[in-house]
Amino acid sequence: MDPTVRAASVTVSAAEHSDVLVVRLSGDLDAESAVAAQAALVEMTDGLIPPARVVLDLTAVDLLSAAGVRVLQGLVGTFAERNVGVRLAADPDSLVHSMVRLALQDHGIGVHTSVSDALRARCSGR
């Protein structure tokens, strides 16, 4: 699979960082792009075997609609069922950061200010 998928107004790409898969979303994750983004995210992460770890990089997401939040909630739920660890990174001054923290607070998912922070948190067990 090509590690970059462009769908409607969002781009999804993946890269390995040590033993962590970093999946970067950029653009608008909205009703128009949610289904295609979800398919790309599932395809990119489907082969992960526990204790795999994923960082979802949302630092370049400009718009996150309710449909986009549902995609992230579903993906986080799937990761939990498969025993795959997940951290998120979002710009701390963005609405995306606030929305993700609120939407995923019941899942106990860490939302970090950068991919580097998310990777360090994963390594230190926080």
Residue spans of the chain under pLDDT 50: 1-2, 123-126
Query: How far apart, in Å, are the Cα atoms of 50 and each of 55, 60, 86, 126?
Result: 14, 27, 11, 18
pLDDT at position 124, please? 40
Q: Could you tell me how far CA 46 lies from the centroid of its own chain?
A: 14
pLDDT digits (tens, 9 = 90+) for 68-79: 999 999 999 999
Hey, what domains does the chain have and what are their CATH numbers? 4-49+66-87+95-115 (3.30.750)
pLDDT at position 122, please? 54
Q: Fill in the DSSP letter of residue 93.
A: T
Q: How many CB atoms lie within 10 A of CB 56?
A: 27
Q: How far apart are CA 82 and CA 91, in angstroms?
A: 27
Identify the H or E element spanning 10.
Answer: strand 10-17
Give this prediction's pTM.
0.90
